[in-house]
Amino acid sequence: MGTWDIGPFDNDTAADFSYRVDEAPEEKRAEVLLATFREVTATGGEYLDSDFAVEAIASAALVAAQCPGGDPVTTSYGPKKPLPELPADLRPAAVEALDRILTKPSELLELWEESDGEEWKAGVLKLRGVLAEG
């Protein structure tokens, strides 16, 4: 995975995921995001692959952008097409996925812990906070 910064779309996997979001019909985009959350939470206590985690974090950022206090996704690596208003029931699914990503065994968590990823973790926790309140 090529990663160049700590943001939700600052890696190759998330940038590629943006194309999947853009290619989905507008009425199916919420389902694309929900699928990423379900892929993460379906692992239960099993090892969580970093690609699933990265896509779920990118999805969470898109959902959080529509919440009060959420930051807009302005990176050129995010989806190019505007998202429709997303259903509120995506928020608890996103929170559950972020909680799983921050719980071992999680490859992405381990990779960031190896490189002093406190700033990355703080960003994920900020997303979680917006989603939990929103």
Over residues 46-61, the pLDDT tens digits come to 999 999 999 999 999 9
Give the tens place of pLDDT for each residue, 4-36. 999 999 999 999 999 999 999 999 999 999 999
Q: Which of 99, 94, 102, 55 is nearest to 77 (CA)?
A: 55
pLDDT class of 96 with cuts at 50, 70, 90 = very high
C-beta separation of 91 from 58 below 8 A: no
Whether the pLDDT of residue 116 is over 90: the answer is no
Q: What letter does residue 116 receive in the DSSP assignment? A: T
Q: What letter does residue 28 receive in the DSSP assignment? A: G
Measure Cα distances from 122 to 62, 98, 125 in Å.
17, 12, 5
C-beta separation of 54 from 108 below 8 A: yes
Quick one: pLDDT at residue 53? 98
